[in-house]
């Protein structure tokens, strides 16, 4: 119960922190650029996800882990 309260307090503190961050809508010029998107190149990201899914034991995290055999 105490741990849960602590966790809640941390989440609330983070949310309070978030509300003071950010920019006004007219200051989004840099953020609106394509290369500032969290996934700037979806095709390349999908390619990498599939390569590492096939060759490593863990995958996903950024998005869903993806499908396929990965038996080779």
Query: Is there binding between residue 31 and another protein (CB under 8 A)?
Result: yes
CB 65 within 8 A of CB 53: yes
Query: Is there binding between residue 9 and another protein (CB under 8 A)?
Result: no
Instruction: Give min distance, CB of 21 to another protein, in A.
Output: 5
Query: Is there binding between residue 18 and another protein (CB under 8 A)?
Result: yes
Q: Which of 51, 53, 31, 52 is nearest to 40 (CA)?
A: 31
Of 2, 4, 5, 21, which lies in the binding site for another protein, with binding defined by CB under 8 A?
21
Long-range contacts, 57-64 (Cβ 8 Å, 24+): 63/39
Query: Is there binding between residue 47 and another protein (CB under 8 A)?
Result: yes
């Amino acid at each position: 119960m105490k741990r849960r309260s602590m966790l809640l307090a941390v989440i609330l503190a983070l949310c309070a922190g978030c509300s003071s961050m950010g920019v006004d809508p007219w200051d989004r010029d840099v953020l609106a650029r394509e290369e500032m998107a969290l996934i700037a190149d979806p095709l390349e990201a999908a390619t990498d996800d599939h390569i590492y899914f096939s060759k490593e034991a863990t995958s996903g995290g950024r998005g869903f882990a993806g499908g396929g055999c990965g038996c080779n």
